[in-house]
Amino acid sequence: QVQLVESGGGLVQPGGSLRLSCAASGIIFSIYAMGWYRQAPGKQRELVTTITSGGRTNYADSVKGRFTISRDNAKKTVYLQMNSLRPEDTAVYYCNTRSPTTHMDYWGKGTLVTVSS
């Protein structure tokens, strides 16, 4: 059974930083690409960033230069370091992966990030 469990969300002031973690189980983590999505109130879920099994990364324009995705295959965990946070980064952040064989998507339950003074 595939499980993705996010942690690290919370309330932060504008300009602050947070690091999100996503612990995976039930998959051969090292061969899976991983991603972070977010959904702000009243908006559709959007892609934030992805990292391939080989470590290649991709970012939405809105977070380039501020967010960094990384992975630790030994810990089966993907991280999202978020710096210079803005109120518009407020959202529920979801961890995602897709099976390279069945192409089924898996999602965590999300962690809330609130950027406010």
Q: Give the tens place of pLDDT for each residue, 91-102.
A: 999 999 999 899
> Which pLDDT belongs to residue 5?
98
> Which pLDDT belongs to residue 91?
98
> Which pLDDT belongs to residue 52?
97
For the stretch 4-32, what's the b/e string if a residue is b when 16 or more beta carbons lie within 10 angstroms of its beta carbon?
bebebbeebeeeeebebbbbbeebebeeb
d(Cα 82, Cα 89) in Å, to the nearest integer?
9
> Which pLDDT belongs to residue 103?
93
> Which pLDDT belongs to residue 51?
98
The label of the residue with tokens 């983590």 reads 29
For residue 48, what are its two tokens?
């934030």
Write the pLDDT tens digit of every residue in 25-82. Answer: 999 999 999 999 999 999 999 999 999 999 999 999 999 999 999 999 999 999 999 9
Q: Amino acid identity, residue 19?
A: R
